Structure 1
Amino acid sequence: MIKAIIIDDEPLARLIIADYLKEYDDISVITECSDGFEGAKAIQQHDPDLVFLDIQMPKLTGFEMLELLDKIPNVIFTTAFDEFAIKAFEKSAIDYLLKPISKDRFEQAIIKFKNNYNTLSAPTNTDKLNSIMEEEILERIVVKNGTQIKIIPVQQISHLEAYDDYVKIHTKEGVFLKNKTMTSFEKQLDPKQFVRVHRSFIAKVDQLAKIELLEKESYIATLINGEKINISKSGYARLKQIIGL
């Protein structure tokens, strides 16, 4: 039996999907969730084979919710906005259903899922999802803080720092860890606001107070909050280009 979870903030959308699924004897709806917080908990608890996931939801978007998961399941996204679907179709990574969802289109998505179900691997599916998510400019970052979920607007960040397999996100409220690479953040953060100044640091440009020569071809920056970060030769060149030095 294929275990499915429906995650959508619209009751009517959940009702339609659940109604369509009644025709498939081999698919069982384990639970329905109305937001990303509930969805993340349900996925961790039930380990579903298939998730129907809305992208535009309050509190957490569908993409943000996926970032909180240790293991990403097979996902069929549902959305009312063509711009998201177009990107997915171009990548052919997973299926998207545009709202309002027709029965015929829903059936096509189920057939596609079943045809690939036995060949889909978690790492491949995760990589494809990450490649889609990395195309979006971040406006906020969602992190796990113990048992709590913290939403950090990018405007609150002073800088980011590499930390083994994690990234330290430095803010006025403290430092938060995110299991993500510096390269991913470099791709997703607005390049007009954030610059990779060193292999270990990404700086928010408006938080730089002073830049000094440390030694030949390397520099050190003092931030408005008094913290210091290293700047490499290539990082300094990128920084000069952005701030017009």
Structure 2
Amino acid sequence: MISYKALIIDDEPPARSIIRAYLKKHAEIEVAGECANGFEAIKAIKEVQPDILFLDIQMPKISGLELLEVIEEPLHVIFSTAYDEYALKAFELDAVDYLLKPYDEKRFDAALEKVLVKIRTGELVHKQLDPLTVSQQSQLERIVVKKGTKLEVISLDNLLYIEAHDDYVMLHTAGGHYLKSKTMKYFEQHLPENRFVRTHRSYIVNVEKIERLEPYDKDTFLAILNSHCKLKVSRTGYKKLKALMDF
């Protein structure tokens, strides 16, 4: 009897075929779908509601780690990848196991058994961690956001500013704004410091988008990004901008 649904996410058809073949002898697991990229996966996760994800890391457009970051559904995740350098981050994101390609059926079965034990015992599944607890994170080159059942990739060139928004942040671009479950501190630490400055407790600004600075009151200024966007700049933020922009 089928008890659990699995979704396979990998851009390489042979890799998906291997997982599907290894799952054939596990009658309790149904392969509910296959996806070649994260954009397909985010829709499939919503529709299929799988219990288990087999997830590649290095994929076109968005990585498996970026996908996992925006998944809200409770899932048990097994990474399947040819790159061992992501193992620490994968486990810190609550992956159950990390299969390093090429792996054999015995290693696959061991990983699957870990998942089944966790499901049967009701152990906690994947959850989003405070990103500051995840070590060895590289500098951001893009930001992946979820909007409904779709994923969008924001390039840093298109990012105007980030605004504190309760327990989230609002990412503002020329084409719209996006809510993301991250902290201001995270972006302050992981955006290129020569391009993005924490100008105020509520704002991180792309300095390339600043047209000019104007005095606002005794201790603050305004960063003018365009005629419709004027952001407060604190005294400390002004000093940072002055040092970076050399004015």
TM-score by length of 2: 0.82
State the Cα distance separating 1:50 from its structure 2 match. 0.8
On the 8 A contact 2:161/2:204 being kept in 1, the answer is yes
Distance in 2 between the 1:29 and 1:108 partners?
Answer: 18
For 1:30, which of 29, 32, 37 is the aligned residue? 32
Distance in 1 between the 2:54 and 2:99 partners?
Answer: 9
- Determine if the alignment matches structure 1 residue 10 to structure 2 residue 51: no
2:123 maps to a residue whose letter is L
State the Cα distance separating 1:153 from its structure 2 match. 0.9
Distance in 1 between the 2:118 and 2:131 partners?
Answer: 16
Alignment match, 1:121: 124
TM-score by length of 1: 0.82
For 1:58, which of 57, 60, 68 is the aligned residue? 60
- Determine if the alignment matches structure 1 residue 227 to structure 2 residue 223: no
On the 8 A contact 1:134/1:187 being kept in 2, the answer is no
On the 8 A contact 2:93/2:129 being kept in 1, the answer is no
Q: Using a 3 Å threshold, how does the CA distance of structure 1 residues 8 and 108 change in structure 2: closer, same or farther? A: same
Q: Once structures 1 and 2 are overlaid, which stretch shifts more, 234-243 or 198-207?
A: 234-243
Alignment match, 2:173: 171
1:11 maps to a residue whose letter is P
On the 8 A contact 2:39/2:150 being kept in 1, the answer is no
> Alignment length, in residue pairs?
242
Distance in 2 between the 1:121 and 1:129 partners?
Answer: 18
Identity of matched residues, %: 42
2:180 maps to a residue whose letter is N
Distance in 2 between the 1:38 and 1:208 partners?
Answer: 36
1:170 maps to a residue whose letter is H
Q: Using a 3 Å threshold, how does the CA distance of structure 1 residues 197 and 18 change in structure 2: closer, same or farther? A: same
State the Cα distance separating 1:238 from its structure 2 match. 4.1
1:124-203 correspondence runs (5 A): 125-127=127-129, 132=134, 135-145=137-147, 149-164=151-166, 166-172=168-174, 174-181=175-182, 182-203=184-205
The 3-state SS of whatever aligns with 1:32 is strand
Q: Cα deviation per residue 1:42-64 (whole Å; 9 max; x = unaligned)?
A: 11112111100111112332233
For 1:99, which of 77, 98, 101 is the aligned residue? 101
The 3-state SS of whatever aligns with 2:127 is helix
On the 8 A contact 1:93/1:129 being kept in 2, the answer is no
On the 8 A contact 2:8/2:54 being kept in 1, the answer is yes
State the Cα distance separating 1:125 from its structure 2 match. 2.5
On the 8 A contact 1:134/1:188 being kept in 2, the answer is no
Distance in 1 between the 2:166 and 2:131 partners?
Answer: 23
The 3-state SS of whatever aligns with 1:137 is coil
The 3-state SS of whatever aligns with 1:78 is strand
Q: Cα deviation per residue 1:44-97 (whole Å; 9 max; x = unaligned)?
A: 1121111001111123322333344332422111221222124435x4832221
Q: Using a 3 Å threshold, how does the CA distance of structure 1 residues 120 and 244 change in structure 2: closer, same or farther? A: farther
1:6 maps to a residue whose letter is I
The 3-state SS of whatever aligns with 2:112 is helix
Distance in 2 between the 1:133 and 1:37 partners?
Answer: 26
State the Cα distance separating 1:35 from its structure 2 match. 1.6
Distance in 2 between the 1:32 and 1:148 partners?
Answer: 17
Q: Using a 3 Å threshold, how does the CA distance of structure 1 residues 244 and 104 change in structure 2: closer, same or farther? A: farther
State the Cα distance separating 1:15 from its structure 2 match. 0.8
The 3-state SS of whatever aligns with 1:126 is coil
1:60 maps to a residue whose letter is I
